[in-house]
Amino acid sequence: MASALRKGLGREVPCAPCVPSPDILHYRNKALIPFGPKGYGFYRPHSHDIVPTENCPIQSEAAGTAAKVLWAHMQKFGMKAYDEESHTGLVRGLFVRTARVTGQVMAVVIINGSEIPQQNDLTAALQGGLPNLASLQICINRQQTNVLLEGQLKVVWGAPYIEDVLSGNRYRISPRSFYQINSAQCEQLYAAAGELAGLTGHERILDLYCGIGTIGLTLARKALEVVGVEVVEDAVKDAREAAAANSIENARFIAADASEAARQLSEEGFTPDVVFLDPPRKGCDEALLETVAGMSPKKVVYVSCNPATLARDAGILENMGYRLTGEALPFDMFPRTAHVETCVLLS
């Protein structure tokens, strides 16, 4: 982290000690498990070769159980796994979400077809192995693509979402909605982000790349207004539902590209006091950063899982008049990996 910031900003930036994760095993609440002719597991680095893996120590135990049940069902009823080279076979993969507080489990079977043979048998088997199963869905993906969770979603049993509790708020989480994969560590991260923002109850917050609204809704009771922006419509629906379910009336959410929404809000005269940025690994595009700087917020709180793009974007904002102040705050969001989540303040 320190090296990336030194390179991006041309100076030393102090880094606080990395905040340890409360959980270091089975902490991941999301698993995307590809299936192939030789079995299921995870991709070898920089390839689509599947390394057979029955149990992964950082994934939820529910994910491992669901994969075993699905594979056994396939063997029992002669179902073929998908072959990328020939574009044949039915089962492409399995997506599993696990809620840390409620314990609810979602399983999405990704298929190269329209339905799963002996679907009722699979449902019963999964219910037997996963007592907290709350949602079973299929994702119909017939495209010749390496993006697994793409295509029409259909509910087989239960709800189209699971529910979890984060920092006292209850959330619905749909399959494609962004939700931090380490829920316990996420609460510590958001608490630190709130402290950097220094909210007094009078601030307008713009929460870009908001996912299901977890940052904005966590801090909404300490702010005057929250506007969240997210490109995934299902996530925006989840965010709106969460605001209503938690009786938060000062938050609204927009389904749009972050750059377009920020520009539109700026043209409408919306003037945030604090902007939260939590982009994907590729970071923000320069046009968005220009729009944010043009809104003249007093503070920009940047949360990132990629030190290189964080440093790059912080450098761009510094060229626009902002200054990274205080320490960079690293969080061990992904224990037993080389990745780190970082939070910084620019003002």
Distance (Å) of CA 55 to CA 18, 64, 68, 98: 28, 6, 9, 15
Q: What backbone phi and psi angles, to 5 degrees, belong to 4?
A: -65, -45
CB 127 within 8 A of CB 133: yes
Rounding to the nearest 10 degrees, give the CA dihedral for residues 189, 183, 310, 228. -90
Q: What 8-state DSSP symbol labels residue 59?
A: B
Report the alpha-carbon angle 56-179-174, nearest 5.
Answer: 95
Between CA 79 and CA 71 the distance in angstroms is: 9
305 is catalytic: yes
- Tell me if residue 240 falls in helix, strand or coil: helix
Place of tokens 């189209």: 160
Which entry of 186, 210, 284, 305 is annotated as an active-site residue? 305
CB 182 within 8 A of CB 333: yes
CA-CA-CA-CA torsion sign (249, 302, 29, 110): positive
Q: Which residues are catalytic?
A: 305
